[in-house]
Amino acid sequence: MQAIIDGFLKFQREAFPQRSALFKQLATRHTPSTLFVTCSDSRVVPELLTQQEPGDLFVIRNAGNIVPSYGPEPGGVSASVEYAVAVLGVGDIVICGHSDCGAMTAIANCTCLDHLPAVANWLRHAESARVVNAARQHASAQACLDALVRENVIAQLANLKTHPAIALALEQGRLNLHGWVYDIESGGIAALDGPSQAFVPLAEYPHTCALAGKPRHAA
């Protein structure tokens, strides 16, 4: 804990003065361009891997970078998604999975979670990814896990589209959806290409998008 406190003191002493003008603007203005949904894993730091400043990203973090489908009793993730799109007006949403994900490892290994009922219930939101991935052949346990991480990103994008605010923004052509998988060891990101449904290196294909909102014109 002392390291965290020391870090805050260093922030006040060094980092904050360097960005004092930015923080003065942010004190009364909140206009992030992107909603970034990723895992709570401490090795994944959205602002670091995207090199964004405070105020640029609206971030949701939870076990398994999950977005539950919209339902009669929306939870905190649903409320944050709705707020980001309907109030803040973000133009892009990123669902970002990552390598060596503990949540996906538990699913891939069929780990007994009877002693963690809240975790078990939460991971049911990734059930479609588990079912699809289990129906495929994999060369190894590692390949199975890597595939599940990717399939879960696809599943959460599908869940995301069930939210009314998302459906409306896509219909009006003011929102794009992105599916990423961050590799911790290499620092690379694989992005979901919507038309092919394949994950491609973001560094080589920087304009890759999982789904671009396009307004439909009335007949």
Specify binding-site residues for Zn(2+).
39, 41, 98, 101
List the binding residues.
39, 41, 98, 101
- Which is catalytic among the residues 96, 98, 146, 163? 98
Which residue of the set 13, 29, 100, 101 is catalytic?
101
Of the candidates 181, 117, 54, 114, the one whose C-alpha atom is nearest the C-alpha of residue 193 is 181
> Nearest to residue 199, comparing CAs of 95, 51, 72?
95
Which of 19, 29, 30, 43 is catalytic? The answer is 43
Using DSSP's 3-state secondary structure scheme, residue 193 falls into: strand
From 6, 29, 30, 41, the catalytic residue: 41
SS (H, E, C) the chain: CHHHHHHHHHHHHHHHHHCHHHHHHHCCCCCCCEEEEEECCCCCCHHHHHCCCCCCEEEEEECCCCCCCCCCCCCHHHHHHHHHHHCCCCCEEEEEEECCCHHHHHHHCCCCCCCCHHHHHHHHHHHHHHHHHHCCCCCCHHHHHHHHHHHHHHHHHHHHCCCHHHHHHHHCCCCEEEEEEECCCCCCEEEEECCCCEEEECCCCCCCCCEECCCCCCC
Is 43 marked active-site? Answer: yes
Please pick, among 39, 96, 130, 146, the residue that the annotation labels catalytic. 39
Annotation marks residue 98 as catalytic: yes
Which residues are part of the catalytic machinery?
A: 39, 41, 43, 98, 101
